[in-house]
């Protein structure tokens, strides 16, 4: 992969990372304000608890994506970004544009999905 392409993906990954961190910060701030708007009845308390659980599950999904982004950034440094972890062939540019954290080429990913992996 050319240096210019690596820089392009690095910028995209860093932008994605920043968006997740900003979103997580806002979610954390919002979760602190749940239920602080006066006296709650049981339904309000249950609703606020449910909303807090949803906020935390979103954070878990974002945490996984954040780890994938960091792994991809490490691969850029090592020179292995854009190489399929299964067959070691180049991942298509089209696939990386659609999913910059892709670990597998489309062929290997489809085979893995068919096998239920």
Average pLDDT over residues 74-78: 96
Whether 51 and 20 map to the same domain: the answer is yes
Q: What number is the average pLDDT over the span 37-46?
A: 55
108 in the same domain as 95: yes
Rounded to whole angstroms, the Cα distance separating 28 from 91 reads 36
69 and 90 assigned to the same domain:
no
Domain match, 63 and 114 both: no
Judgement on whether residues 94 and 105 belong to the same structural domain of the protein: yes
Q: How far apart are CA 81 and CA 22, in angstroms?
A: 25
Q: In this structure, are 69 and 93 located in the same domain?
A: no
Closest CA to 85 of 65, 66, 107, 115: 107
Identify whether residues 50 and 16 lie together within a single domain. yes
Q: Residue 113 and residue 1: Cα distance in Å, rounded? A: 27
Which domain does 12 fall in, by range? Answer: 1-79
Q: Is the Cβ–Cβ distance between 102 and 95 less than 8 Å?
A: yes
Q: Are residues 74 and 89 in the same domain?
A: no
Q: What is the pLDDT of residues 50-73, one digit of tens each?
A: 555 555 556 778 889 999 999 999
Residue 47: the pLDDT is: 54
Does the pTM surpass 0.75? The reply is: no
- Please give the structure tokens belonging to residue 68: 């994938």
Query: Are residues 40 and 91 part of one domain?
Result: no
- Same domain, yes or no, for 20 and 50? yes
Query: What secondary structure does DSSP assign to 74-100, as a single string?
Result: HHHHHT-TTB-TTT-PBPPHHHHHH-T
Q: Does 97 lie in the same domain as 55?
A: no
């Amino acid at each position: 992969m050319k240096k210019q392409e690596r820089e392009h993906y690095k910028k995209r990954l860093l932008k994605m990372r920043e968006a997740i961190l900003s979103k997580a910060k806002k979610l954390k701030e919002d979760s602190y304000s749940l239920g602080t708007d006066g006296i709650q009845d049981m339904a309000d308390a249950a609703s606020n608890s449910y909303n807090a659980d949803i906020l935390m599950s979103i954070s878990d999904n974002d945490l996984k994506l954040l780890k994938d982004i960091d792994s991809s950034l490490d691969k850029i440094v090592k020179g292995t970004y854009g190489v399929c972890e299964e067959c070691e062939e180049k991942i298509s540019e089209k696939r990386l544009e659609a999913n910059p954290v892709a670990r597998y080429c489309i062929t290997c990913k489809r085979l893995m999905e068919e096998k239920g992996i």
